[in-house]
Each structure stands twice: as C-alpha cells, then as structure tokens.
Amino acid sequence: MRYLIVVTLLWAFSFSLIGQYLAGQVDSDFAVLLRVLIAAAVFAPFTLWRGLPGRLVGGFWLAGALQFGITYLCLYRSFSVLTVPEVLLFTVLTPIYVTLLDDALARRFNRWALLAAAVAVGGGVIIRFQPLQGEYLVGFLLLQLANLTFAAGQVLCRRLLQQHPVPQPLHRYFGHFFLGALVLALPSFLLFGDASRLPHTALQWGVLAWMGLFATALGMYWWVKGSVEVSAGTLAILNELHVPAGLLVNVLIWNRDADLPRLALGGGVILASLWLNRRGRRPLVAVAAG
C-alpha cells in the first residue's frame, strides 16, 4: 500500500499544476505527448524485447493506451470546460469502475468491495460537492471516459502481473506500457495539436518535465507495482484519496480556501471504507485457512 499512498501524493500535485500552469495555456495534446515521451525514455534502456509472454507485452501496450493514452487526453481536455474543483468532483466515480471491472473479469460479484467503493465515493462527494455552473456536461462525459479507461488500465495491469509471473523485475518490461500510450498520444498531437500553444516559459517546461518524470514515469510504475499488493477493493478505495490529498495541496501550497470540516468528514468516510473492505474479506480468509 505504501507505493499507492506515495503516488497519491504525487498525483495530488498534478491536478493543481495542470490547472495553475498548463490548462488554457499549453496545448493539451502536446502536454500528454511530452509526458509519455519522458516516461518512455526513462524505461527504454531497461526494456526487454524478447523472452516475455506475448499476452503480457500486448496487455501492457493495451493498458498504456487505455490508462495513459485515452485517460490523459480526456483529462486535459476537460480542464478547458471545467474548473479544478469540478474535475476533482467528476473523478470520484473511479472506485466504482475499478470494482465492477475487476469483478467482471473474475466473473464474480463482491458486494463488500462494491459497498466499500461506494462509501469511498460518498466521502469524495462530501469533500468536493458544490453547485455546478455553466456548460459542464461535455466535461463530465470526458471525465467518465477517463475514469473508465483509467480503471480498466489498472485492473488489466494487476491481472496481467498475477496471471503471467515472470522472473524479470517489472522495470524490465514496464516500458511497453508507455509505448502503448505513445500509440495514441503521438497521432493525437499530429492530428489535433496546436503548435502555436507549446510551452513558452521555463516554468511550464519545468512543470511538464516534473510531471513526466515523477507523476508519469515513477507514478505509474509505483501504482502498478503497488496494485498487486492489495485487494481489488482496497485498490478501488485508494483511487479516491486524490480528492482530499488534492485539496490539502491547494490549502498548504496555493493558500486556497477549503472547508476543513467537510474535508475531515469526507476523509473519515474514505478511511471507513477501507475498514468495510477489510471486514468483507475476513470470511474469505477464514475459509481459506480452514
């Protein structure tokens, strides 16, 4: 779980950095492409091209296309029609998608995991809900597609690592994940990108470099690595922690106002969902032990 918590903190900065320095200023397709290129360059020297199961490699290409390609192309576009708080609000449904997709692939229905994910979503809504104004339907639909593909990508990676164990460590083949993302990010920039809106300040280049190296390369790597150390229900719930973490970043770094009682209440509800998920797993552990 430690990997997932560290990545949650990294990604909490991402929402604020995108909204503060990139949204409406830097072409969204270029921002996604640069992040993918940096991440791919980090893992390229370690990447194995032979001796790996074909399904594992192909699955990582697909997961990268889903979890970073489609997800981040939709996420960046949503900032053009939504505020940062609205983006945070519309991402609260991700835990539900994670739980339902994992159950569908396993051909089962875990009501405790779904209940825990729903409670976590409730905590996120408590923290972030506010009356919506303006044209937000397009942004909402973009983010639901982003939520769904992000959930699908992480569930797929988790199952690939469980079903295709290999002696090589993850960093020796994780580069295939970002090559899959590049398959979508590069054509998207060539077809829809605006070359006149490239970064024009050292700060914007620095933000993209930081996000490419830490939030993207290391963040995605640690998230996938940590996903196999927890249950699917816990993974779903941890998808919700970016909401309170993102608000804390706004308060502590950007000095933005926040409703601290709501933040505490919603955070408490999210923590309670972790307890619910663990309670639901106890009968399974008892049966296995007997």
Q: What is the 3 state secondary structure string of 226-286?
A: HHCCCCHHHHHHHCCCHHHHHHHHHHHCCCCCCCHHHHHHHHHHHHHHHHHHHHHHHHHHH
In whole angstroms, give the CA distance from residue 87 to residue 76. Answer: 10
**Based on C-alpha coordinates, what's the Rg of the chain?**
19
Q: Tell me which residue of 268, 229, 15 sits closest to 120, measured CA to CA.
A: 268
In whole angstroms, give the CA distance from residue 44 to residue 148. Answer: 28
- Binning pLDDT at 50, 70 and 90, where does residue 284 land? very low
Residue 133 has pLDDT above 70, yes or no: no
Residue 116 has pLDDT above 50, yes or no: yes
Pick 119 or 263 by higher pLDDT. Answer: 119
For residue 277, the model assigns a pLDDT of 67
For residue 256, the model assigns a pLDDT of 57
Write the pLDDT tens digit of every residue in 188-221.
999 999 999 999 999 999 999 999 999 999 999 9
Residue 181 has pLDDT above 70, yes or no: yes
Least confident of 25-39, 104-118, 169-183: 104-118
CB 106 within 8 A of CB 284: no
Work out whether the CA dihedral 73, 78, 84, 87 comes out positive or negative: negative
For residue 173, the model assigns a pLDDT of 96
- Binning pLDDT at 50, 70 and 90, where does residue 92 land? confident
For residue 30, the model assigns a pLDDT of 96
Residue 258 has pLDDT above 70, yes or no: no
For residue 132, the model assigns a pLDDT of 61
Residue 285 has pLDDT above 90, yes or no: no
- Binning pLDDT at 50, 70 and 90, where does residue 288 land? very low
Q: What is the DSSP string of 187-220?
A: HHHHHH--GGGS--SHHHHHHHHHIIIIIIIIHH
In whole angstroms, give the CA distance from residue 56 to residue 68. Answer: 17
What is the pLDDT of the chain when averaged over all its residues?
83
For residue 23, the model assigns a pLDDT of 79
Residue 232 has pLDDT above 70, yes or no: yes
What is the model's pTM?
A: 0.82
